[in-house]
Chain A
Amino acid sequence: MGQLPPHLELQRSRVSCNKDAPIHTESIQYSGAYASMGIDNSSRLDRFSNNFRVEVVRLNEDDMEFDMIGIDAAIANSFRRILIAELPKMAIEKVLIANNTSIIQDEVLAHRLGLVPIQNDQPNEKNTIVFKLHVQCKRGSPRITVKSDALKWLPNGSELVKETRNATSDSSSKPETYTYFCCSQETIPEFVKNPIIPKYPDIIIAKLGPGQEIELEAYAVKGIRKTHAKWSPVATAWYRMLPEVVLLEDIEDDLAEELKSKCPVNLFDIEDLGKGRRATVARPRACTLCRECIRGDDWEKRVALHRVKDHFIFTIESTGALPPEVLFTEAVKILEDTNA
C-alpha cells in the first residue's frame, strides 16, 4: 500500500475541529475510496491485527479506562451499545408484598427494589434469586430507615405459603410456595464462598414510622437493558477520540503566555529557550475541545485542533455485578456470537 498525500491522509485519519464546526468527521470505509490513486483502502485482517492495540490507563473494581487504537468507530460503537443495552444482569423483577403499611406505595417500593444492584458474578437464567425483606418499626420507638442490607437472600426459595384452592390436599406434603427449588442455592459451588447480597448496603429503600411494617419477597431474574434500565450492567460506558493539538508555528513570548492563559484545562506549557519562551503542548489528552485557543484574530493559523479517528479513549463504569474488564470481554463475545 502506497502513501496518501499528506492532506488526504489528514482528512482520512483526523477530524479537524475548526472555529465554526468540525470537518472531515466521516470515516472513509469504502475499500475503493482511493483506488484512482492506486491505494488500497480495504482492510485485511492481518493488517488490522498488526495495527490494533489496547492500552489500559486505569482499572479498579468499579471502573476502567483504556485506549483502543486502530479500530473503526463502527466497531467501537457496537461494543459501547452492547455494553449498555445487551449485556445480561440480574435484577429484582417480581415483588410479592405480604404487608406494607408504610407511606411508600407498593408499586413505588417495587420499583425502588428493582433498581438495587445485586452482587452476583454468575448471571444465570436457570435460577431465580429470592430475597426477603421484613422490617417493623415498633410503636413508641423512633422512625427507622430501611436500607438495602435489609434484603436477605433466601437460598431455599420462597417462604410464602401459597393458598391452595382445594382444602383436601395432602397435609403431609411440604406446603406449596411460590418457587420450586429442588435444592438449596447455597450448595451451588459459585455461591458457597460468596453469598448473594446487594452490592451496596446503604441504599435507602423506605422509611418507617412507629407501628409501620413492610414484609415482602423479591425475585431477581436475568434480563437486558433493552427491556428496562435496572438490568444495565454499566452505570455508563462511553468513548471519545484522542485529541491532538498541533502548533502550526512557533508561538513565543507574549503570545505563548496568552495561549497558556487562554486554555481552561491548562493544556500548554511554556519552555524557556534561554533568550525567549516558547509554548509547547503538554497534556493533549486533557483537551475538551472548547476551542478557546483558536478564538480571536489569527489564532486558527497558529493552533490546529484534531481528533484521531481510530484512537478511542473508552471508559466503562460498572454497577457492581461484574468487574468492568469482564464486562468488555462479554460484550465482545456477544458481538462475536451474533455473527457466528
Chain B
Amino acid sequence: MEHGSFTDNSAATFSLTDEDHTIANAVRFTLNQDPRVTFCGYSIPHPSEARVNIRVQTTGDPAREVLKDACQNLMLMCRHVRSTFDKAVEDFKASNAVKAMKIDSQDSSGDDSEESE
C-alpha cells in the first residue's frame, strides 16, 4: 500500500504487510545508497502487527520508482552474493578433496596396512 499525495509523488510512505526488519532494514540500506534519496527510514508501528512502513523522500523522482530500483539493487546484490558464495564453497570443497588425497597418499606410502583393508 502506498500513502502519498497526488500532486507531489516525490515523497511517499509504503506500508508492507507480512514483512519485518529482515526486508525493511535491507531496503533502507539500499535506498540510503541511492543519491536521489533525501530521506528514508522505516518503522514498525506495533510489534504484534506484521507490518512495516517505509518512508521515502526523493529529490524529485517518483518515490515509487526509487523504491523499485532499491529492491532491484538488493536483488542483484543477493544474486552476486549467492554466486560468490557458491563458488567459494566449491573451491573449498575442491581444495579439501585435494588435501585429503595428499594425506591418503602419504599414509599409503608410509604404512598401507590400514588403508588397504
Q: Which residues of A contact B (CB under 8 A)?
A: 29-32, 40-43, 45, 48-49, 52-56, 59, 66, 68, 71-72, 74-75, 77-79, 81-82, 85-86, 325, 328-329, 332-333, 335-336, 338-340
Contact indicator B78/A336 (Cβ below 8 Å): yes
Could you tell me the distance in whole angstroms from the C-beta of A46 to the nearest C-beta in chain B? 10
Q: Which residues of A contact B37 (CB under 8 A)?
A: 31
- Interface status of B73 (Cβ within 8 A of chain A): yes
Cβ proximity bits B81-100 to A, threshold 8 Å, 1 near / 0 not:
11011111101110010000
Task: Report the interface size for chain B: residues with CB under 8 A from the other chain.
Answer: 38
Which of the segments B7-15, B27-35, B102-110 contacts the partner chain?
Answer: B27-35
Partner of B75 from the list A52, A74, A336 (CB cut-off 8 Å) is: A336
9 contacts across the A-B interface (CB closer than 8 A): A42-B34, A43-B30, A48-B77, A75-B26, A325-B89, A328-B85, A332-B78, A336-B82, A339-B72
Contact indicator B85/A339 (Cβ below 8 Å): no
A-B contact count (CB 8 A): 103
- With A81-B22, A335-B26, A339-B72: A31-B32 Cβ-Cβ less than 8 Å: yes
8 further interface pairs, Cβ-Cβ under 8 Å (given A41-B33, A335-B22, A335-B78)? A29-B33, A31-B33, A31-B35, A54-B81, A55-B88, A72-B29, A75-B81, A332-B82
Q: Which of B47-77 contact A (CB under 8 A)?
A: 71-77
Contact indicator A86/B35 (Cβ below 8 Å): no
Contact indicator A59/B92 (Cβ below 8 Å): yes
Q: Which residues of A contact B72 (CB under 8 A)?
A: 339
Q: Which residues of B contact A338 (CB under 8 A)?
A: 19, 23
Q: Complex: how many Å from CA A55 to CA B20?
A: 29
- Interface status of B3 (Cβ within 8 A of chain A): no
Q: Complex: how many Å from CA A332 to CA B84?
A: 12
Contact indicator B74/A339 (Cβ below 8 Å): yes
Q: Which residues of B contact A329 (CB under 8 A)?
A: 82, 85-86
Contact indicator B74/A42 (Cβ below 8 Å): no
Could you tell me the distance in whole angstroms from the C-beta of B64 to the nearest C-beta in chain A? 15
Q: Complex: how many Å from CA A31 to CA B39?
A: 11
Q: Complex: how many Å from CA A75 to CA B93?
A: 26
Q: Complex: how many Å from CA A30 to CA B33?
A: 6
**CB-nearest residue of chain B to A78:** B26
Contact indicator B32/A29 (Cβ below 8 Å): yes
Contact indicator B35/A32 (Cβ below 8 Å): yes
By CB atoms of chain A within 10 A, which of B23, B26, B82 has the most? Answer: B26
Contact indicator A332/B35 (Cβ below 8 Å): no
**CB-nearest residue of chain A to B87:** A54
Could you tell me the distance in whole angstroms from the C-beta of B42 to the nearest C-beta in chain A? 11
**CB-nearest residue of chain A to B37:** A31
Q: Which residues of A contact B96 (CB under 8 A)?
A: 59
